[in-house]
Structure 1
């Protein structure tokens, strides 16, 4: 790695190049260095930069011979895999659109993507994803070729358009040998303004909108983030985030190639925590819920440990938490807490970080929504310098982040170098940068609404503090008023409810009403463990959510949030729902953002019961299974007054 660091200055971080050209430079200067590591059957398999370039070009050569060209779409189905990443790069080499979908996306969602760009090519991870593509092909004439990575279970399949990744690699290698000039042609064919990836907006108010990001967009965003201190050359990262989320492409492929990271890919989503410990990455980005879940796991393990270990944990962690709060408040850390820190690092903090793969972590980030104060302060006290990050799909993921020495609980940091920010008259955050997209795919009206004289309307309400820190309040479209004219943002209150480890989702009500109320989805894992420790039995999620002791637990969480809200905006009632909000049911997006119009329509009986003064309501809820079949669950729910 030292050799790579010594040559970092030779890498061009300018935007007038392409990912494949940088990949070729990596292969030339770091050919035998590890680019990707994939956990397969318990063993880490390594791919060097030279091998990564060869595989990408071989796949591009095969795709081209099959008729794939500029503005063709390659629909990518599956979890993170090296060949899927290289397939996405290959699509960009040919000027086509690499269009990743969430692996758990419903057939309707995938069909929308497929028809949006008339996708003829599908790159599928395994048999499950191939079956999904074949089913779609039966009702659509656009799919012509399905390329699969994992051959297990597919030996008997006879579909004429079905072909393996390995077979296309062989064809591509043979073509590159037969045409000596093709290799250079492919490397030079992609243009900086050409497509690098085709991702989608979250789709909270309707169908997700297509966002094509160019090589220039992605590399500008990476350069901005690099200069802002988000990461450095040669980082080690864990590629576990959904490939359909812009952050994964921007970090794993964009920054990964541009700054020659070591990209580690977990065996399965279920093994991420175990693989995280083995990798011990230097860069790690996770949503607040993931940090919350890890904290819950730490606390559960401490509850099950010996009395001596629990005592040591309490002593040193309480000292570290106090010290961290003193730092955040700008106060000097007491002598006692400074003296306890080194011993605490040796006895408590170091072993915990080692167990969870956090020992080498230099750049730790959270983003997507607000993180709970207790969770944020805990990791800072543990010695993980967690920072908040702000970005979005339309700006290639990178807008702003906190400096390690300027961390504040209520801000997302300052704009990155190369990013201009201004606040519109209506309180909307607007930004301008080379990382901003050129418009929504085939949606002229939406593009005109989003872009104005080079400025991107983020759709977020917020303000700038005098020293330049950005405060994000929530979605501008969600600014609503009560019947008495009180202005509020539901998402702001919902995020604070989710600071409780027992609350997974919340939907705040109150628009044009006399008071505010909320529907809450408990976190089954956390509440389930809480109930188990106390000997509370239950049969299902619905049973657990309606338990009187659990209702009391949720009441306390609501009361804590009420403590920071003005009297006119306090939550007066809540209902603990008998099912989680589910992306398969269209209630939340794949990134778990609420689709309010769907929720308000589907849960109208509950809303009516709350505001008509009823004490309970019988609710029948729709459930969509993985097969696409629809079922229902019925339960009597209590309307709880706070």
Structure 2
């Protein structure tokens, strides 16, 4: 058994709640822009004073509607300015926010609202409202339903006009540090989602220590962060509260379809993403270079960036020749890539899955340091991350200051600290199973090095055991295969089988380009899944993945699927984690085909 900890850098308030942050900002930084609000195609700054006024006006409306201290209020919307405003308004009214993914089905909405006992729901649009209304007969506690795009904020402000400031102040102070701030329902790779109860103290401990350890990323008046991850996910909430705590300017966009334009308009210094986002940035830049006849230059520049980054971790550093090549490619390639990312970007934080050393070194080599981290809903977001001054690519970093990471005898990662959730809502059995003597059992397998840097190697419950008795952790090889531009998703199979196989889906965007360049008609996965040239390209991706594992763990055969793993079909969660049991059931015939004969 091995463990590592770092001393706390932030003194967690003994009392108070998260609404104290917006009042403090308005007092100490009245003219600092804490939010960027997109109206049409342009961004407008919102100062801490303006933000506080809007939050409190909406909170008065919630109080007027009968929201009482401790009442649960569901919030179902894409990531947008109003999400953050309403989150703080619910807290200011003494309520508890229950985020709901905007992609949730009516059945999921029914479960979350009924299990949490939500008395009100605020949704973004008509489709969301219809989903709630379709199951309203199952929600006896639900009294109110507001729609953002149908004037919810104006209605709340008007309704709260008669609520006094004294009443509001009393209500805003009603929640104590150990009271629930939010109930976040895990997206659940198996079974029904469980509601993680996160307190105001959890967020103070999490965000306070993270902001202190990552100070260069959170310079008030200089830094800004663009959030395009789901605000309903705990990672998004960490960014929201951390940005307000610092404070730095926070911008919200609902998706990544217009990410290039949003980056250019907002010009963040920091972005947050999952590995697939960074893979798409790399693959998109490479594809554009190839289309412009500069593919060989890009590939040389990419190799130079990776070599330069690796050399930074050596005692001698980059050689003179490498420094010269890096300078040349900075003018030809790297600078243009940074401009495409907004021009001011300095850092990125990646979570949700392993990024991979190749991408980590590439981005650091082009001037964008991607700091990999690790966390869960139960840990209020990041429980480990790489610090900018001591990055160790290939790991998820050191523990959050003030917390402890322990590796049990069987390799499971255990966590301890004030950032850990208080339990699962209405589920004492699951709470008792997950928490033992103050330690949270993550279900992840990992290792700590001599400097306390954590590496995650797989999920305890996802370990496959082949017919030959070989234990296989799927994550390592899946991440390597998925790094190929043509691969969207990869799921390793082989439990109880004679060898390891894989199901692979194709990235539709790059498949179209690949097909067009080769004169193929019908550039779809269904049309091209048996194409010999495409299969050879996927085999190269598999070979690269196999290079990271032993022969017994390597993928011997694979099947390219005719479509995608989708959230709608239940194959992936909103945070892009594979629901392996659902995939295995829906594609049982494809798995059998791998082992046939």
Shared topology, TM-score over 0.5? yes
Q: Partners in 2 of 1:327 and 1:237 — Cα distance? A: 26
Residue 214 of structure 1, CA deviation: 0.9
Q: Partners in 2 of 1:268 and 1:591 — Cα distance? A: 13
Match of 1:249 among 223, 237, 244: 237
1:84 is aligned to 83
Q: Partners in 2 of 1:112 and 1:456 — Cα distance? A: 25
After the TM superposition, which residues 452-467 of structure 1 pair with which residues of structure 2 at under 5 Å, given as runs? 452-467=436-451
Residue 335 of structure 1, CA deviation: 0.7
Match of 2:338 among 353, 356, 371: 353
Residue 220 of structure 1, CA deviation: 0.5
Q: Partners in 2 of 1:611 and 1:201 — Cα distance? A: 34
Q: Partners in 2 of 1:41 and 1:180 — Cα distance? A: 33
2:324 aligned with 1:325, yes or no? Answer: no
Q: Partners in 2 of 1:289 and 1:339 — Cα distance? A: 31
Distance change in 2, residues 1:350/1:64 (3 Å): same
Structure having greater relative contact order (Cα 8 Å, sep ≥ 6): 2
After the TM superposition, which residues 239-388 of structure 1 pair with which residues of structure 2 at under 5 Å, given as runs? 239-252=227-240, 254-266=241-253, 269-305=256-292, 313=298, 316-328=301-313, 332-357=317-342, 359-388=343-372
2:399 is aligned to 415
Gaps (5+ residues) in structure 2?
Answer: 1-9
Distance change in 2, residues 1:363/1:206 (3 Å): same
Q: Partners in 2 of 1:433 and 1:15 — Cα distance? A: 15
1:119 is aligned to 118
Q: Partners in 1 of 2:534 and 2:331 — Cα distance? A: 38
| Deviation by residue 1:70-121 (Cα, 9 ceiling, x = unmatched) | 3322111221222222212222233322112121122122111111112231
Please report the TM-score for the alignment, with normalisation by the length of structure 1: 0.86
Residue 12 of structure 1, CA deviation: 7.8
Q: Partners in 2 of 1:355 and 1:269 — Cα distance? A: 14
Residue 374 of structure 1, CA deviation: 2.7
Distance change in 2, residues 1:607/1:301 (3 Å): closer
Residue 132 of structure 1, CA deviation: 2.6
2:177 aligned with 1:192, yes or no? Answer: yes
1:221 is aligned to 206
2:7 is aligned to none
2:32 is aligned to 33
Residue 343 of structure 1, CA deviation: 4.4
2:539 aligned with 1:551, yes or no? Answer: no
| Deviation by residue 1:236-270 (Cα, 9 ceiling, x = unmatched) | 11121101110111111x11221112111237642
Residue 13 of structure 1, CA deviation: 6.3
Output the aligned Cα RMSD: 2.2
Residue 348 of structure 1, CA deviation: 3.1
After the TM superposition, which residues 63-82 of structure 1 pair with which residues of structure 2 at under 5 Å, given as runs? 63-82=62-81
Q: Partners in 2 of 1:280 and 1:403 — Cα distance? A: 23
2:422 aligned with 1:441, yes or no? Answer: no
1:232 is aligned to 218
Does the 8 Å contact 2:512/2:524 carry over to 1? no
Paired residue secondary structure (1:462): strand
Match of 1:400 among 384, 387, 393: 384
Does the 8 Å contact 1:38/1:266 carry over to 2? no
Q: Partners in 2 of 1:129 and 1:40 — Cα distance? A: 22
Does the 8 Å contact 1:38/1:264 carry over to 2? yes
Residue 15 of structure 1, CA deviation: 6.1
Match of 1:575 among 559, 569, 572: 559
Distance change in 2, residues 1:487/1:15 (3 Å): farther
Q: Partners in 2 of 1:15 and 1:43 — Cα distance? A: 41
Does the 8 Å contact 1:229/1:403 carry over to 2? yes
Paired residue secondary structure (2:450): coil
2:59 aligned with 1:60, yes or no? Answer: yes
Residue 142 of structure 1, CA deviation: 4.1
1:492 is aligned to 476
Does the 8 Å contact 1:524/1:541 carry over to 2? yes
Distance change in 2, residues 1:323/1:491 (3 Å): closer
| Deviation by residue 1:254-305 (Cα, 9 ceiling, x = unmatched) | 1122111211123764222211122221221111100011112211222233
Distance change in 2, residues 1:269/1:192 (3 Å): same
1:182 is aligned to 167
Does the 8 Å contact 1:15/1:220 carry over to 2? no
Distance change in 2, residues 1:492/1:47 (3 Å): same
Does the 8 Å contact 2:69/2:94 carry over to 1? yes
Number of residues paired by the alignment? Answer: 585
Q: Partners in 2 of 1:595 and 1:375 — Cα distance? A: 25
